[in-house]
Amino acid sequence: MDKKNKVKYLIRKLETLFPEVPIPLDHKDSYTLLIAVLLSAQCTDERVNQITPMLFKKADNPYDMINLTVEEIKEIIRPCGLSPMKSKGIYGLSKIIIEKHNGLVPKNFEDLEDLPGVGHKTASVVMSQAFGFPAFPVDTHIHRLMYRWGLSNGSNVKQTEKDAKRLFPKEKWNKLHLQIIYYARKYSPARGWNINKDIVTKKIGRKSILNKLI
């Protein structure tokens, strides 16, 4: 199967498997989504969703957030890991949003990526899921499956994003990247998989469900 037909098959199959794809991180607006995505670095969405209610009860907007100290933020988000760095990022970006953006999360990549603790992936998630801008955030799940499906060479996430945007229709990016994440979590977990050896150990019956997809 060539790449063109493989992409068509993938889109059709993922739409069948996951016709609805709710955003995994609980949030109420662009600011709370931005904070949740920042917290999700090297942390599960489930854990983030357990912690954010406690944080947002105290501060669910940049004005209330800077009334907390970095230490107070750190204590609340500690279970998410990397709390010293993340707490400084949350406080710093909240301050900048107030000072430079009138308290509103900016709606462009350049300003988002200028915020402390916000990289391209986080900015892509916010642009896609909060503002509906076509983007294709690449996490470890998408990076893994794009390689496994023979759609990218697996060299780095930047190349994987470039390949995904080239291969998939732009109007499907926002939903499709979530569908791939949901698929990976359910059928193709990272444990037991090595990009150099191309191993997928998750089995359902005699065949990997991943091989049934392709």
Indicate which residue of 121, 163, 165, 170 is catalytic. 121
Q: What is the pLDDT of residue 182?
A: 94
Annotation says 139 is catalytic: yes
Q: Which fold has domain 3-21+136-213?
A: Endonuclease Iii, domain 2 (1.10.1670)
Q: What is the pLDDT of residue 151?
A: 95
Q: What is the pLDDT of residue 203?
A: 36
Where exactly are the structural domains of the chain? Answer: 3-21+136-213, 30-129
Length, in residues, of the chain: 214
pLDDT along the chain (214 residues), means of 10: 91 96 96 98 95 98 98 98 97 98 98 97 97 96 93 92 97 97 86 43 37 45
In whole angstroms, how far apart are CA 127 and each of 109, 157, 180?
7, 18, 18
Indicate which residue of 74, 139, 197, 207 is catalytic. 139
CATH number of 30-129: 1.10.340.30
Annotation says 13 is catalytic: no
Q: What is the pLDDT of residue 207?
A: 37
Q: What is the pLDDT of residue 136?
A: 97
pTM: 0.86
CA atoms within 13 A on the CB side of 198: 9
